[in-house]
């Protein structure tokens, strides 16, 4: 049968058939490509494109036709820079600056991270040295005394308990940081926080993960320049979760290396002394 002999209805049906077959072929090709893509590519695509479905239901009086539901699909593009800004803002209340306990002329030692609502702080053991206490500066500028509760030489970390009030007598409330539950992937975007007086960040990717064995901890290596990394600098992902912490042990393993954040939480919950 020639195309000229087709009726209007047959032409419409033929068009729908061709469109349907094309859609199926496109879907198959897309799925195949996503399966073959590296995990970091699939992760980036999932984070950049979000689908928001807005359902609008009209109210129908009794006795009339059933309610009509109209579904609208919108594609929202989320920039990675926006994710980084949101992540840094999220973790800001959980980051503290560690100083010596000298009230008159305190010296900056490094950064620390809040692990729980009671104010347990983890920092780089190399920053505090053999000192038994220090002074913490919180995100709001207030200061709180902190006392060493345990050290772990294998990880190069120190744990501190904080006073219940600031030095000016106000109650001290703490916002614990979220710990990344998933193992970091090679190529995953990470952000390092630093800055002695003001907040500074540096971005990079995970370049290697050195597995732990016996007393050797797992170390996350990055391509972040080592110069801005401070003692106790936290490493976070774009979700605002702690991925790692810079310690004297991690830096000895790799200049831009970080101890895994999940190990820090496990060590804290065990109450390891390691003095």
In a domain, 254, yes or no: yes
Helix or strand holding residue 121 (H, E): strand 121-124
- Extract the tokens encoding 171: 């109650």
The whole domain housing 26 covers 3-56+69-77
Average pLDDT of the chain, as a whole number = 83
161-176: average pLDDT: 94
**Same-domain check for residues 202 and 265:** yes
What's the confidence (pLDDT) of residue 40?
58
Tell me the per-residue pLDDT of 70-98, one tens digit each, with 9 for 90 and over: 666 666 666 888 899 999 999 999 999 99
In a domain, 32, yes or no: yes
Contact 99, 108 (CB under 8 A): yes
State how many domains the chain has: 3
Tell me the per-residue pLDDT of 10-26, one tens digit each, with 9 for 90 and over: 777 778 888 888 888 77
Lowest-pLDDT range, 74-78, 199-203, 243-247?
74-78
**Same-domain check for residues 192 and 231:** yes
Torsion sign over Cα 148, 152, 158, 164? negative
Classified as helix, coil or strand, 120 is coil
């Amino acid at each position: 049968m020639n195309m000229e002999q087709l009726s209007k209805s047959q032409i419409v049906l033929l068009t729908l058939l061709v469109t349907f077959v094309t859609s199926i072929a496109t879907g198959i090709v897309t799925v195949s490509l996503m399966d073959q893509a590296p995990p970091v590519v699939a992760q980036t695509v999932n984070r950049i494109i979000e689908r928001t479905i807005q359902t609008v239901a009209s109210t129908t009086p009794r006795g009339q036709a059933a309610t009509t539901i109209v579904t609208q699909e919108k594609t929202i593009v989320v920039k990675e820079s926006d994710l980084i800004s949101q992540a840094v803002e999220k973790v800001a209340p959980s980051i503290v600056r560690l100083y010596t306990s000298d009230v008159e002329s305190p010296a900056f030692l490094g950064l620390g991270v809040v692990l729980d609502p009671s104010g347990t702080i983890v920092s780089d053991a190399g920053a505090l040295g053999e000192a038994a206490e220090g002074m913490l500066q919180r995100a709001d500028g207030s200061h709180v005394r902190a006392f060493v509760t345990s050290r772990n030489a294998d990880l190069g970390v120190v744990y501190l308990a904080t006073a219940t009030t600031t030095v000016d007598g106000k109650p001290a409330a703490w916002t614990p940081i979220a710990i990344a539950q998933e193992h970091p992937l090679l190529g995953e975007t990470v952000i390092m926080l630093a800055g002695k007086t003001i907040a500074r960040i540096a971005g990079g990717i995970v370049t290697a993960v050195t597995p732990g064995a016996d007393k050797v901890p797992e170390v996350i290596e990055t391509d972040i320049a080592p110069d801005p990394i401070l003692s106790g600098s936290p490493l976070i992902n774009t979700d605002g979760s702690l991925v790692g912490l810079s310690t004297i042990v991690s830096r000895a393993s790799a200049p831009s290396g970080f101890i895994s954040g999940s190990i820090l939480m496990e060590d804290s919950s065990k109450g390891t002394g390691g003095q």
